[in-house]
Amino acid sequence: KRGPQWEAVLRHSLAQLHPAEEGTKQSQYVSVCHRQLGGVLLSIFARRRLAEEMRELSFAYVSVGVLGVMGNKGAIGARLRVKDETLCFVGAHLAAGEGPAVYE
Protein backbone atom coordinates (compact mmCIF):
# COMPACT_ATOMS: atom_id res chain seq x y z
CA LYS A 1 0.00 0.00 0.00
CA ARG A 2 1.29 3.40 -0.92
CA GLY A 3 -1.05 5.42 1.30
CA PRO A 4 1.69 6.65 3.67
CA GLN A 5 3.83 7.69 0.70
CA TRP A 6 0.94 9.65 -0.81
CA GLU A 7 0.24 11.29 2.54
CA ALA A 8 3.89 12.41 2.74
CA VAL A 9 3.69 13.85 -0.80
CA LEU A 10 0.49 15.71 0.06
CA ARG A 11 2.02 17.09 3.29
CA HIS A 12 5.10 18.25 1.39
CA SER A 13 3.01 19.90 -1.34
CA LEU A 14 0.85 21.72 1.21
CA ALA A 15 3.97 22.93 3.03
CA GLN A 16 5.35 24.29 -0.25
CA LEU A 17 2.10 26.04 -1.19
CA HIS A 18 1.37 27.30 2.34
CA PRO A 19 4.59 27.76 4.33
CA ALA A 20 4.57 27.76 8.13
CA GLU A 21 3.33 30.92 9.77
CA GLU A 22 5.96 33.35 11.02
CA GLY A 23 7.37 32.51 14.42
CA THR A 24 6.55 28.82 14.14
CA LYS A 25 7.91 25.83 12.26
CA GLN A 26 4.58 24.03 12.30
CA SER A 27 2.78 23.52 9.03
CA GLN A 28 -0.45 25.46 8.58
CA TYR A 29 -2.12 22.16 7.61
CA VAL A 30 -2.58 18.97 9.59
CA SER A 31 -3.82 15.55 8.56
CA VAL A 32 -7.34 15.03 9.88
CA CYS A 33 -7.75 11.52 8.51
CA HIS A 34 -6.10 9.09 6.17
CA ARG A 35 -7.81 5.87 5.06
CA GLN A 36 -7.09 3.48 2.21
CA LEU A 37 -9.11 0.71 0.58
CA GLY A 38 -7.08 -0.95 -2.15
CA GLY A 39 -6.40 1.76 -4.73
CA VAL A 40 -8.81 4.26 -3.18
CA LEU A 41 -7.20 6.76 -0.84
CA LEU A 42 -9.10 9.32 1.23
CA SER A 43 -6.94 11.98 2.88
CA ILE A 44 -8.41 15.04 4.55
CA PHE A 45 -6.19 17.93 5.53
CA ALA A 46 -7.29 21.11 7.28
CA ARG A 47 -5.75 24.31 8.51
CA ARG A 48 -4.48 23.75 12.02
CA ARG A 49 -6.85 26.28 13.61
CA LEU A 50 -9.86 24.76 11.80
CA ALA A 51 -8.87 21.18 12.69
CA GLU A 52 -9.18 22.13 16.36
CA GLU A 53 -12.90 22.81 15.71
CA MET A 54 -13.54 19.37 14.15
CA ARG A 55 -15.39 16.64 16.01
CA GLU A 56 -17.53 13.53 15.50
CA LEU A 57 -15.20 12.06 12.88
CA SER A 58 -16.44 8.73 11.54
CA PHE A 59 -15.61 6.45 8.61
CA ALA A 60 -17.30 3.81 6.51
CA TYR A 61 -16.15 1.71 3.61
CA VAL A 62 -17.67 -0.71 1.13
CA SER A 63 -15.74 -3.32 -0.87
CA VAL A 64 -17.52 -4.38 -4.04
CA GLY A 65 -14.63 -5.97 -5.90
CA VAL A 66 -14.18 -9.66 -6.66
CA LEU A 67 -16.62 -11.71 -4.54
CA GLY A 68 -17.68 -8.47 -2.84
CA VAL A 69 -14.63 -8.45 -0.59
CA MET A 70 -11.60 -7.48 -2.66
CA GLY A 71 -10.47 -3.90 -2.24
CA ASN A 72 -9.98 -3.28 -5.95
CA LYS A 73 -13.45 -1.67 -6.22
CA GLY A 74 -15.33 0.19 -3.56
CA ALA A 75 -15.68 3.44 -1.67
CA ILE A 76 -14.51 5.15 1.50
CA GLY A 77 -16.52 7.82 3.26
CA ALA A 78 -15.71 10.20 6.09
CA ARG A 79 -18.11 12.39 8.03
CA LEU A 80 -17.21 15.15 10.45
CA ARG A 81 -18.59 18.25 12.08
CA VAL A 82 -16.96 21.67 11.95
CA LYS A 83 -18.69 24.09 14.29
CA ASP A 84 -22.37 23.72 13.29
CA GLU A 85 -21.78 22.25 9.83
CA THR A 86 -21.62 18.57 8.86
CA LEU A 87 -19.25 17.61 6.05
CA CYS A 88 -19.07 14.35 4.12
CA PHE A 89 -16.22 13.21 1.86
CA VAL A 90 -16.39 10.17 -0.41
CA GLY A 91 -13.71 8.57 -2.56
CA ALA A 92 -14.78 5.75 -4.89
CA HIS A 93 -13.48 3.47 -7.62
CA LEU A 94 -16.34 1.55 -9.20
CA ALA A 95 -16.62 -0.70 -12.24
CA ALA A 96 -17.70 0.97 -15.47
CA GLY A 97 -21.00 -0.07 -17.01
CA GLU A 98 -22.50 -1.64 -13.89
CA GLY A 99 -26.05 -0.70 -12.96
CA PRO A 100 -26.94 0.99 -9.68
CA ALA A 101 -28.38 -2.25 -8.26
CA VAL A 102 -24.85 -3.68 -7.98
CA TYR A 103 -23.87 -1.02 -5.43
CA GLU A 104 -27.07 -0.73 -3.39
Q: How far apart are CA 62 and CA 77, in angstroms?
A: 9
By the 8 A CB rule, do 18 and 34 touch? no
Q: Note whether residue 88 is domain-resident.
A: yes
Share of the chain above pLDDT 90, in %: 25
For residue 80, what pLDDT band results from cuts at 50, 70 and 90? very high
For residue 76, what pLDDT band results from cuts at 50, 70 and 90? very high
Give the pLDDT of residue 29. 86
Domain that holds residue 22: 3-95
- Number of compact structural domains in the chain: 1
Residue type, 17: L
Q: Note whether residue 40 is domain-resident.
A: yes
Q: Note whether residue 87 is domain-resident.
A: yes
Q: How far apart are CA 102 and CA 104, in angstroms?
A: 6
Give the pLDDT of residue 99. 62
What is the pTM assigned to this prediction? 0.74
